[in-house]
Amino acid sequence: MTEKATPSPEAIKAWARLMRVSRQLMESAEEALKTAGLPPLAWYDVLHELAEAGEDGLRPFQLIERTLFAQYNISRLLARLEADGLVEKLPVADDGRGQTIRIAAQGRETRRQMWAVYGRSIAELVGAKLSADELTMVSALLGRLRHPPASD
Amino acid sequence: MTEKATPSPEAIKAWARLMRVSRQLMESAEEALKTAGLPPLAWYDVLHELAEAGEDGLRPFQLIERTLFAQYNISRLLARLEADGLVEKLPVADDGRGQTIRIAAQGRETRRQMWAVYGRSIAELVGAKLSADELTMVSALLGRLRHPPASD
DNA sequence: AGACGATAGATGCAATTGCATCAAGCTTGA
DNA sequence: TCAAGCTTGATGCAATTGCATCTATCGTCT
């Protein structure tokens, strides 16, 4: 059993940095969106997945897998997105319990507007701070902290 | 003006990894604490700062600076900590508006119990996945994403 | 077919967060 | 000195989150 109950100083430092920096960056990005009068990041995450999925859409449980949101969270978020006309809920043929969520034209437009702001935040907060090689290094190292670990 | 509105693919990837991994790790740590019947991470952050501050304690606004919590959040968190007997609120001599927050004996004990679980999570989730050198590299790279950038 | 357990998604209720604002005390400057 | 503005911390209210549970449908096993 190689598990250690007490982490090394390096591990503690890396953890602290990770938690602090990620929170700080996320808040910056959220603030930029809010200032622009746009919806919060969570909406972007969902719209992004749905846009990538295309006309076939996605089932809510697939969104849960992809976004890490809790089930009840997705359920309510989708209700809000539908109320705003950004997505459509379609019944699914071979499963009477389920539904398929498809992004609506207005959803694509909102996503586009959000990306204009969000992308700029990423460029400023991350892209401008580290070189491409360093960014690749960060991705690789963080990927190994994922569960399951990412190879690329 | 060197600002780019559209981030590089490397920046997008690093951002996505950072957001996703930090959320995943934090949820793992939160879950471990909850399973152990202990308070959430936010409590640890505050108790940690107060423990380091020692008998002199800290003013709430100092906690805000150190933890990045919003003011109203700290205000209510401290109310809960006090209600649980983990901290004491003391009037401060030279400023009638303010108060000094001091960690109580029971607060130290709770923090100790939380660290037993939290530290193990850090060791498992981070310490066991990367070498000391790699962890140092992560800290250094993330430090440059901070505002203001960290040198160490 | 019928029963039983698993899966998909919604929802009532309590706790927390976010926003805006407030009250109280401090500081500065005329 | 005292008005105006700033800082510190609290709080009412709305929105969101978390938890537990519920309904409905599906799949499987007998």
Q: What is the pLDDT of residues B62-72, one digit of tens each?
A: 999 999 999 99
Q: How many domains, in total, are found in chain A?
A: 1
- Chain A residues in contact with B125 by the CB 8 A cut-off are 15, 145
Q: For residue A139, give the nearest of B13, B28, B135 by CB distance.
A: B13
The mean of the pLDDT values for chain A is 94
**For residue B134, pLDDT beyond 90:** yes
Amino acid at A146: R
- Is B151 within a domain? no
Is residue B92 scored above 60 in pLDDT?
yes
Residue B144: how many other CB atoms lie within 10 Å: 15
Is B36 touching A (CB cutoff 8 A)?
no
pLDDT at residue A151, rounded to an integer: 76
Q: Give me the helices (H) in chain A, please.
A: 9-35, 41-53, 60-67, 71-83, 105-122, 132-143
Q: What confidence category does residue A147 fall into, taking pLDDT thresholds of 50, 70 and 90?
A: confident
Within 10 angstroms of residue A69's Cβ, the number of other Cβ atoms is 19
- Give start and end residues of each alpha helix (H) in chain B: 9-35, 41-53, 60-67, 71-83, 105-122, 132-143
What DSSP string describes B44-59? HHHHHHHHHHGGG-B-
Q: Is residue B86 part of a domain?
A: yes
Nearest nucleic acid nucleotide to A27, CA to C1' distance: C18
The pLDDT score that the predictor gives to residue B148 is: 83
Query: What are the backbone angles phi and psi of residue A87, rounded to the nearest 5°?
Result: -135, 160
Confidence label for A44 from pLDDT (cuts 50, 70 and 90): very high
On whether residue B80 sits in a domain, the answer given is yes
- pLDDT band (50, 70, 90) for residue A2: low
Is A151 domain-assigned?
no
Domain that holds residue B114: 24-143
Tokens 């919806």 -> residue = A39
Q: Which residues of B33-64 are buried (b: 16+ CB within 10 A; e: fewer)?
A: beeeebbebbbbbbbbbbeebeeebbbbebbb
> Is A73 among the domain residues?
yes
The answer to whether residue B110 sits within a structural domain is yes
- The partner residue sitting opposite A24, judged by closest CB among B68, B135, B144, is B68
**B8 domain-assigned:** no
B95: closest CA of chain A, how far (Å): 30
Determine if strand C comes within 7 Å of the CB of A146.
no
Residue whose CA lies closest to nucleotide C27 C1': B95
State how far the Cα of B29 lies from the Cα of B22, in Å rounded to an integer: 11
pLDDT band for position B3 (50/70/90)?
low
Whether residue B112 lies within 8 A of chain A, CB to CB, comes out as no
What average pLDDT does this structure show over A124-144? Answer: 97
Given a cut of 80, whether residue A152 has pLDDT beyond it is: no
Res B118 pLDDT > 90 = yes
CB contact under 8 Å between B15 and A25, yes or no, is yes
pLDDT-based confidence at B4, cuts 50/70/90? low
pLDDT in tens, A83-127: 999 999 999 989 999 999 999 999 999 999 999 999 999 999 999
Closest to B146 (Cβ–Cβ): which among A10, A24, A128? Answer: A24
Give the pLDDT score at A83: 95
Q: Residue B103: enclosing H or E segment and its boundaries?
A: strand B99-103
Q: Which nucleotides of C are covered by protein (CB under 7 A)?
A: 7-12, 16-20, 23-27
Kindly state whether residue A40 falls inside one of the protein's structural domains. Answer: yes
pLDDT tens for each residue of A54-81: 999 999 999 999 999 999 999 999 999 9
Domain of residue B99, CATH code: 1.10.10.10
Cβ of residue A132 closer than 8 Å to a chain B Cβ: yes
Residue A51 (CA) to nucleotide D23 (C1'), in angstroms, measures 31
Report which of B66, B41, B71 is spatially closest to residue B52, judged by C-alpha positions: B66
Rounded to whole angstroms, the Cα distance separating B22 from A149 reads: 14
